[in-house]
Structure 1
Amino acid sequence: MTSTSTETAAPGAGREFRTIGVIGLGTMGAGIAEVFARAGHPVVGVEKDEESLARGRQYLEHSTSRAVKREKMTEAEQAELLDRITFTTALKDLADTDFVVEAVVESVETKKAIFRDLDEIVRPETILATNTSSLSVTEISTANGSPGRVVGVHFFNPAPVQSLVEIVQTVVTEQSVLDDATALVTSLGKAPVVCGDKAGFIANTLLFGYLNHAVAMYEGRYASREDIDAAMRFGCGYPMGPLALLDLIGLDTAYEILETMYRQGRDRLHAPRPILKQMVTAGRLGRKTGRGFYSYEAADSPAVVADELTPSADQKPQLRHDIKLVGVVGTGTMATGIVEVFAKSGYDVLYVGRSADKVAGVRAAIEKSLDKAIQRGKLEESAKAEVLGRLTGSTSLDDLAPVDIVVEAIAEDLAIKTTLFANLDEICRQGNGGAGAILATTTSSLPVIECAQATSRPQDVVGMHFFNPAPVMRLVEVVSTVVTSDDVTETTRALCDRVGKVAVSCGDRAGFIVNALLFPYLNDAVKMLEAHYATADDIDLAMKQGCALPMGPFELLDVVGNDVSLAIQRELYLEFREPGFAPAPLLEHLVTAGYLGRKTKRGFRDYSAR
């Protein structure tokens, strides 16, 4: 069959890429071969033996057949694509290729042997690329007589679907090779990002540090696997929780990547957690073996099934305290959102502000929010009067005397909060043989125990950390101190369920679940930028395209506010005394300069012209 071919001319060097070589036709290699063939390139696919070659051909046939079934390709186009690929077990058949990608097993010695052999086979101008996800491209390149023509080209799995490709330059990679490889990848319709040769490159370095921290959280029994995963899904909008993602990746793969990253960088945060090694040794590798952090219906099944760690229906939290009247202290955005959440769920709410104007502002803001919901068809007109009828505003804390639970949502200042809790202790109903009022704080980073100790009933104090905007975000972190009563914790979780929120339980330590996992990852991204390892745009693109995150780290930092981020990172560092948690100097400098993000029109990016 005659087929059209694509020739990509790179800028400057004048290289023309026509025929592409792919060494290794496993899942990743077959996917890379498909990507190039889809773009019209003749491809020479090489495997070590006939059995592996047949398996590689099968991968390609299955992948393209799925595309035909989904009507993304016709049968004629599938036949034409497969016809562009030559299957062979002989490396010498790569002699006339213009670009060769190696995608074999993650072994330095195996890869070096291939690059050594290629020296005698391909033309001097042929670019040689490795698809390694974590090994040193520099070390691999030393096996070739011309290491300047070697570059990392890290596709993400599945290669035909994922658009991100990390282009990895070593200290000896020729600039023309880097430019030409980037141009070739761009011509495939992919999104290339350029970075230096460091274990994990961009996406894996940032991703696996975060995943390892989540494992540490689980290993220390700080929170359950379900709560850790739910916290990141509902608190950050991540497509998967960290432990479920590790099961998908494979715990053996994760262990090897972390081990490689630790060996190269000696960063203690990348040292694989002991439980990972134990699970790998026990054969609990994740979905592929049917058991990892979760249990699955069968090997390679995505269906999670109950096991000995799964909470039973009998363990569903119940309201151990009778909750009818809810109090809220504060009139800011968070307090207003919390008032709206409870009122829309059928609870009478008494909210307290410092002035009549601020109290009126809460009602006006909720009325505006309800009008918007009605306009969008999310709320019936008749419900508006009902919700507003449940609201009572006051400027006197003493009016909170009859409430069943009071939620504090004032400034993140410990002195102000402890003074408030001392007052609430005197005002709100004490237990005296019955259930007293629950006193809750929405703090995102301050110690709940300090608020509790300002009262004579620390057992009734709990953290109830809503996420902003409260009416939209579904997550609430329920934070128990060492003295919080089990009944109070259970009631708070049950109450969250009643108002349509997803509650996760954790202990009282800096960052709780979400911030403790999120902000070290953001701090690592700042350090990566600070080291000139990659640009902010490329780091953001890598995390959005490679990890399917809703925002890149620098986009998120500018939205959150660099001053807020710095304050949280400082709290984490002071609490855990972990050197890797020390705020990146660049973050400190930006805050000192007043570059706080979108709110000041300047952060990691300039928003003045937008």
Structure 2
Amino acid sequence: MERIEKVGVVGCGTMGSGICEVVARGGRAVQFVEVNDEMVEKGLSRIRNSLQRAVDRSKLDAADMEAILDRISGHTDFAVLSDSDLVIEAVPEQLDMKQKTFEQLDAVLRPDAIVATNTSSLGVIDVAVHTKRPDRVLGFHFFNPAPVMELVEMITTVVTNPEVVELAKAFATELGKTPVVVRDRAGFIANLLLFPYLNQAVGMVEEGYATREDIDAAMRFGCGHPIGPIGLVDLIGIDSTNSIMERMYEQFGDVRYAPHPIIRQLKTAGFMGRKSGRGFYTYEKPNSSRTAADDASDVTPIDPESIAHWGTIGVLGTGTMASGIAEVCAKAGYDVIVRGRSVAKAESAKAAVGKSLQRMVDKGRMEADAAEEALGRISVTDGLASFAECDIVIEAVAELMEVKRPLFEELDQITKPDCVLATTTSSLPVIEMAMATNRPEKVIGLHFFNPAAIMKLVEVVPTVRTDDQTLMQSRAITEKLGKHGVLCGDRAGFIVNALLFPYLNDATRMLEDGYATAPEIDTAMKLGCGHPMGPFALMDIVGLDVTLEICRALYAEFRDPGFEPVPLLEHMVSVGYLGRKVGRGFYTY
């Protein structure tokens, strides 16, 4: 065989119908097999509806739709697949069902035909051994929805013929997909990194640490993910999530792969996610992406009047974060006082704001008069005493408790009694800064994301001592500044870093194990999960030293063995490979 031409698919459910559509869109005829005529018609209807949606959105011509449908046929007899070059199995994720399917295929296919499984969690070798051609079996893992998602994970077993892999890779490329070749183990690349992250997010909801809405918003606004983790579990399906995680736990024995009890409870109750109309969210109807109007967490509405009397904001610090916060506050109409260790440093921070505002003017996003007015609201100082009449002071200095704590002691003595004291820490306990003051009830975390002038997210972090008025005022000022505030408790990592950095650590462990290369892992997570960048490209931007310190902070807080920094990360930091800022990290620049 020099090229894959004739394609068969077994199973025409969500994945099978998507695979049929992809193959037919690629110009090849495809035949699928289902258990009975009713399932055949449902499969054809599913494909037709998918193509019609593309036509309705002007992404496909009606004539092309009919041509694609003409290349697809459905049957109930495996014999129609006898002359196929490749057959892709897409039956439910049950090992015994897949093994039986492979036995039936083996009985009718040509000896040189390739048989592939679309499994996302089962061992490919476990189905390959149920054929007389285990060397011509591989995993061909499409991602849902198959017509849209570009990634295909190709899973090779210890006996897969290299010729088969090359033919399959060429076939996937001709279909417009990007193949990534990996070895046979549960979860492969994308799911092995994705599902511990999803499970951890579910745990946050289960224990009441944060609402599902805030967790999802945090990862969308803070990391640029196309969908938050809780919404993604509903999209994948509660039953599928449970099954995939159980398989990974069976193979690796790591408790982070064991699905949280609430996942099993929802599954038992029949709440399977979007497809059933209810999962962690309730939807308008089954398979709808729109949540029901009355399905909202019971969170006290923000009261804008709580900060109606505020007029002056203090910003403590002169770095990138501090200047970004100063800009945001000035654009919102507040008088801003920036304090630096010297007037020159404070002036430098104001100059950075001026450059940022000018860029907005140059891009037509802001009027020149408005930019000049905003910059005029910023004054600079080198003394804390200038904060005496501020309504809130936002600290944005070095991420060291020995630096922050003494500053909070001083601010407590200088500012008026009702002034809110906020810290932008991303990993230190807010309560330690609060207890350095005589007003712990007025201290809170406001974790802006860098660059603060652009990033929409702010994590609002009350401590066990923060009073209700301070929390309400903090939520109100976050909204007034044009940011999306998410509420979470005072523990290392808050929401975003607590979910993001264990994932980055897991990716590093995968690289250290030699399972895949950094480019392959980055490609898998970008194309398979829709992340704006892969984990290694992201770590190079964040800085490997910063990544290591946050991983250490999370490990110290939670004592989870899975959070312990991977030795490879420590080694790279020790030799000075810190990422883009030095020209060498996981990549060389």
TM-score (norm 2): 0.97
CA contact (8 A) 2:8 2:81 kept: yes
**Corresponding residue of 2:347:** 360
Which position in structure 1 is the counterpart of 2:219?
232
Structure 2 partner of 1:199: 186
Structure 1 window deviating more from structure 2 (207-216 vs 111-120): it is: 111-120
Give the superposition deviation at 1:76: 4.3
* C-alpha displacement of 1:245: 1.6
> 2:541 maps to which residue?
559
Query: What is the alpha-carbon distance in structure 2 between the residues aligned to residue 363 and residue 75 of structure 1?
Result: 57
One of 347, 366, 371 as aligned partner of 2:358: 371
| SS of residue in 1 equivalent to 2:313 | strand
CA separation of 1:311/1:175 partners in 2, compared to 1, >3 Å: closer, same or farther?
same
2:311 is the alignment partner of 1:324: yes
Give the 3 Å change call, closer, same or farther, for CA 422–225 of structure 1 in structure 2: same
Q: Deviations over 1:346-365 (max 9, x none)?
A: 11111111112111101211
Larger mean Cα displacement after TM superposition, 58-67 or 397-406: 58-67
Secondary structure of residue in 2 paired with 1:320: helix
Structure 2 equivalent of residue 506 of structure 1: 488
Paired amino acid for 2:211: S
Q: Distance in 2 between matches of 1:68 and 1:392?
A: 56
Instruction: Report which stretch shifted further, 362-371 or 299-308.
Output: 299-308
- For 1:439, the equivalent position in structure 2 comes to 421
Q: Which residue of 2 aligns with 1:591?
A: 573
Instruction: Give 2:431's aligned residue.
Output: 449
Q: 2:450 aligns to what?
A: 468
How far apart are the structure 2 equivalents of 1:96 and 1:384? 69
1:524-575 superposed Cα distances (whole Å, 9 cap, x missing partner) = 1111111111221121111111111111111111110010001000000000
Letter in 2 for 1:538: E
In 1, the alpha carbon distance for the partners of 2:53 and 2:371 equals 49
Corresponding position: 1:405 with 2:392: yes
Matched, 1:383 2:365: no
Q: Distance in 1 between matches of 2:310 and 2:56?
A: 54
Q: What's the secondary structure of 1:533's corresponding residue? A: coil
Structure 1 residue aligned with 2:324, among 331, 337, 343?
Answer: 337
- Judging changes above 3 Å, is the alpha-carbon distance between structure 1 residues 301 and 34 closer, same or farther for their aligned structure 2 residues? closer
Alignment correspondent of 2:281? 294
CA contact (8 A) 2:3 2:171 kept: no
Q: Aligned partners of 1:493 and 1:288: how far apart in 2?
A: 35
CA RMSD of aligned residues (A): 1.6
Runs of 4+ deviating beyond 6 Å: none
**Matched residue, 2:301:** 315
* 1:268 pairs with 2:250: no
Q: CA deviation at 1:111?
A: 0.7
Counterpart CA distance in 1 for 2:472 and 2:56 is 49
Q: Which residue of structure 1 aligns with residue 234 of structure 2?
A: 247
User: Does 1:36 pair with 2:23?
Assistant: yes
Distance in structure 2 (CA, Å) of the matches to 1:102 and 1:296: 31
In structure 2, distance between residues paired with 1:170 and 1:289: 35
Q: What secondary structure sits across from 1:302 in the alignment?
A: coil
| Post-superposition offset of 1:299 | 2.4
User: Residues 338 and 470 of structure 1 are in contact (CA less than 8 Å); yes or no, is this contact kept in structure 2?
Assistant: yes
What secondary structure does 1:298 align onto?
coil
**What's 2:588 paired with?**
606
Matched with 1:99 is 86
Runs of 5+ unmatched residues, structure 1: 1-13, 431-435
The answer to whether the 8 Å contact 1:493/1:503 transfers is: yes
| Match of residue 49, structure 2, among 62, 86, 92 | 62
State the SS of the aligned residue for 2:380.
strand
Query: Deviations for 1:68-114, whole angstroms, at most 9, x for unmatched residues?
Result: 44454444444443333343211122221111111111111111112
Please tell me whether residue 496 in structure 1 is matched to residue 478 in structure 2.
yes
Please give the residue correspondences for 1:530-569 in structure 2 after superposition, counting only pairs within 5 Å: 530-569=512-551
Flag the 1:56–1:353 CA change in 2: closer, same or farther, 3 A.
Answer: same
Secondary structure of 1:315's aligned partner? coil
| Whole-angstrom CA distance in 2 between matches of 1:516 and 1:367 | 34
Q: Which moved more, 1:479-488 or 1:561-570?
A: 479-488
Q: Is 2:115–2:136's contact at 8 Å kept on the other side of the alignment?
A: yes
Secondary structure, in 3 states, of the residue corresponding to 2:306? coil
Q: Which deviates further from its counterpart, 263-272 or 288-297?
A: 288-297
Report the residue type matching 2:297 in the other structure.
Answer: T
1:146 shift after superposition? 2.1
| Alpha-carbon distance in 2 for matches of 1:507, 1:334 | 22
Distance 1:505 1:65 in 2: 41
Equivalent-residue separation in structure 1 for 2:390 and 2:73 (angstroms): 76
Q: CA offsets per residue over residues 168-196 of structure 1, 9 Å max, x none?
A: 11122122212221111111111111111
CA contact (8 A) 1:22 1:101 kept: yes
In structure 2, the CA distance between the partners of 1:404 and 1:72, relative to structure 1 (3 Å rule), is: closer
Unmatched runs of 5 consecutive residues or more in structure 2: none
The 3-state SS of whatever aligns with 1:464 is strand
Secondary structure (helix, strand or coil) at the match of 1:364 reads helix
Following superposition, the deviation at residue 149 of structure 1 comes to 1.1
Per-residue CA distance 1:288-325 (angstroms, 9 max, x = gap): 2222222222222222224475336x622445354221
Check whether the contact 2:313–2:335 (CA below 8 A) recurs between aligned residues: yes
Letter in structure 2 aligned against 1:103: A
Q: Match of 1:223, as an amino acid?
A: A
Structure 2 counterpart of 1:108, which letter? L
Gap change, CA 1:116 and 1:590, over 3 Å in 2: same
Letter in 1 for 2:38: E
1:395: how far off? 0.8
Cα pair 2:197 2:503 within 8 Å, conserved: yes
Please tell me whether the aligned partners of residues 319 and 495 of structure 1 are also in contact (alpha carbons under 8 angstroms): no
1:6 matched residue in structure 2: none
The whole-number CA distance in structure 1 between the counterparts of 2:274 and 2:3 is 42
Q: For residues 183 and 132 of structure 2, what CA distance do their matches in structure 1 show?
A: 21
How far apart are the structure 2 equivalents of 1:254 and 1:111? Answer: 19
Contact 2:281 2:295 survives alignment (8 Å):
no
Shift of 1:61: 2.8
2:175 is equivalent to residue 188 of structure 1: yes
Q: Which amino acid aligns with 2:411?
A: L
Residue-pair matches, total: 588
* Paired amino acid for 1:561: G
SS at match of 2:221: helix
Q: Which of 239, 243, 246 is the equivalent residue of 1:259?
A: 246
CA distance in 2 between counterparts of 1:74 and 1:246 reads: 33
Aligned 8 A contact 2:282 2:295 in 1: no
CA distance in 1 between partners of 2:565 and 2:306 (Å) = 42
Letter in 2 for 1:273: H
Q: Distance in 2 between matches of 1:387 and 1:467?
A: 21
**C-alpha contact (below 8 Å) 1:232/1:514 kept by paired residues:** yes
Residue 576 of structure 1: aligned partner: 558
| C-alpha contact (below 8 Å) 1:320/1:488 kept by paired residues | no
Partner of 1:395: 382
CA distance in 2, matches of 1:46, 1:461: 64
CA contact 1:462–1:479 (8 Å) conserved in 2: yes
Within 1, Cα distance between the matches of 2:59 and 2:471? 51
SS for the counterpart of 1:551 is coil
2:335 corresponding residue in structure 1 = 348
